[in-house]
Amino acid sequence: MDLFGDLPEPDSIKQPALTPGSAKPPGSSITSESSSNSIGEKRKSQDEAQEDQQLQAKIAKNEHASDLPSHADAAQLNFHYNLKGYVADRQGEREDMQDAHVLMDDFLKHVPEVHKSITRLALYAVFDGHGGVRASRFASQHLHNNLRDRFPKGDVKQVEKEIKKIFIEAFKKTDEDFLKEAARNKPSWKDGTTAVVVLAVNDTLYIANLGDSKAVLCRYKEAEDKFVGMSLTVDHSPSVYEERMRIQKAGGNVREGRVLGVLEVSRSIGDGPYKRHGVTCVPDIKRCQLTDNDKYLMIACDGLWKSYAVDESIKFANKILEDPNVAATGRKSAEDIKFETTCSKLASSAVLRLSGDNVTVVLVAISKR
């Protein structure tokens, strides 16, 4: 499994062709400077580079700590985009709400002994339970802690080297602990859950997923002169050749697109009875570098995708986000209101389109600092 094999490099950021008097694409900060396609490379303005040099000079001279920027102040040196998460969920036609989610704009404060080169950590996740609520709730309470406990102590380069390992270990630990808890109960729990976890390290997104929930990045494409949805995840259906082969080699089978004719996904946390039939908790893991052309990240369970295609969901969201008539009220900014409204309307619309499932929609606003 190639860590980054399925995700294209970000396009160079170029000034789109604009007619006189026209505006830049809403929500984007597009400059005439091109960005390197080398993922992980820092993009600094001349002033930021000078500040960095001054900081390093002070460190080299061992000047008093009060003259150095704090951990928070140093953030301007290492990331260039703010992230803020929003969520809405609907029970829909189901008897109970089996989805769960995690929004942690400041995951950094929960991770001890982080290297000074890492000045922003954020984490967003959606878990779509099936067979009950216990697996999704358990994963939402424990998976990010398992990531925290394994987070590398080295610099950004070390994180990049180890990120695949720590994600896999965290998913396996979560799955193992849940299955132990499930087995202790009589009758044993049969619950399972999909998972999409997005971890932001400075300006790099690492995406791990199991099952059929999706993460989509809204990015402006110069060649098409519009915002498009870039899929950051791969669905794990038993009908996919590689998935079906793994299931069959383990002694299972796929009937009517389901494992043993029952389970609709080929990877999950929980689902104890299906683990010996080839259902795995090992996620696909990808990486994506944020650019000036990025507007927001959308993470949602299949309750949304049963009703909306990716491009249709992006068009629906952008229509609301680009409404010029929304104004700030009280303590909420216009942007907060727009993103909250978009989450709510997307979730409600999916239910009205007879999704027949729980619906959870997370939007993560991306803005240049």
Mean pLDDT of the chain: 84
3-state secondary structure the chain: CCCCCCCCCCCCCCCCCCCCCCCCCCCCCCCCCCCCCCCCCCCCCHHHHHHHHHHHHHHHHCCCHHHCCCCCCCHHHHCCEEEEEEEEEECCCCCCCCEEEEEECCHHHHCCCCCCCCCCEEEEEEEEEECCCHHHHHHHHHHHHHHHHHCCCCCHHHHHHHHHHHHHHHHHHHHHHHHHHHHHCCCCCCCEECEEEEEEECCEEEEEEECCCEEEEEEEECCCCEEEEEECCCCCCCCCHHHHHHHHHCCCCEECCEECCCECCCECEECHHHHCCCCECCCEEEEEECCCCEEEEEEECHHHHCCCCHHHHHHHHHHHHCCCCCCCECCECHHHHHHHHHHHHHHHHHHHCCCCCCEEEEEEEEEEC
Q: How far apart are CA 217 and CA 291, in angstroms?
A: 11
Check pLDDT > 70 for residue 46.
Answer: no
Q: Please say if the pLDDT value at position 209 is more than 70.
A: yes
Q: Which of 54-63, 172-181, 191-200, 293-302 has the lowest mean pLDDT?
A: 54-63
Evaluate whether 138 touches 180 at the Cβ level (below 8 Å). Answer: no
Residue 356: the pLDDT is: 86
Q: Give 112-128 pLDDT, tens digit per residue.
A: 999 999 999 999 999 99
Query: What pLDDT score was predicted for residue 352?
Result: 93
Q: Per-residue pLDDT for 302 more than 70?
A: yes
Asked if the model's pLDDT at residue 74 lies above 70, the reply is no
- Residue-level pLDDT at 95: 86
Distances 189 to 131, 185, 259, 341 between C-alpha atoms, Å: 9, 7, 18, 36
Exposed, middle or buried, 260 (CB in 10 Å: 0-12/13-18/19+)?
middle
pLDDT at 77: 52
Look at residue 17 in the predicted model and tell me its pLDDT: 37
59-368: CATH, from 3.50.50.60, 3.60.40.10, 3.30.450.40, 3.10.20.30: 3.60.40.10
Structure confidence at residue 78 as a pLDDT band (50, 70, 90): confident
State in Å, rounded, how far the first CA of the chain is from the last one.
Answer: 35
Taking 60 as the threshold, does the pLDDT of residue 286 lie above it? yes
Predicted pLDDT at 245: 97
Q: How confident is the model at residue 42 (pLDDT cuts 50, 70, 90)?
A: very low
Flag whether pLDDT at 196 surpasses 50.
Answer: yes
Q: Enumerate the domain spans of the chain.
A: 59-368
The more confident residue out of 38 and 103 is 103
In the predicted structure, residue 174 carries a pLDDT above the cut 90 = yes
Contacts of 220 by beta carbon, 8 Å cutoff, 6+ apart: 16, 25, 28, 30, 226, 227, 228, 293, 294, 295
Q: Give the model's pLDDT for residue 62.
A: 36
pLDDT score of 76 more than 90: no
Each residue of 214-253: pLDDT tens digit? 999 999 999 999 999 999 999 999 999 999 999 999 999 9
Provide long-range contacts, Cβ within 8 A and 24+ apart, for 338-346.
Answer: 339/84, 339/86, 339/296, 339/363, 339/365, 340/86, 340/88, 342/86, 342/317, 343/86, 343/87, 343/88, 344/88, 345/316, 345/320, 346/88, 346/300, 346/304, 346/308, 346/313, 346/316, 346/317
Q: Is the pLDDT of residue 68 over 60?
A: no
Banded pLDDT at 354 (limits 50, 70, 90)? confident
How do residues 18-37 score in pLDDT, each as one tens digit?
333 333 444 333 232 333 33
Q: Say if residue 285's pLDDT is above 70.
A: yes
Does pLDDT of 132 surpass 70?
A: yes
Q: pTM of the predicted model, to two decimals?
A: 0.80
**Of 22 and 156, the one with more pLDDT:** 156
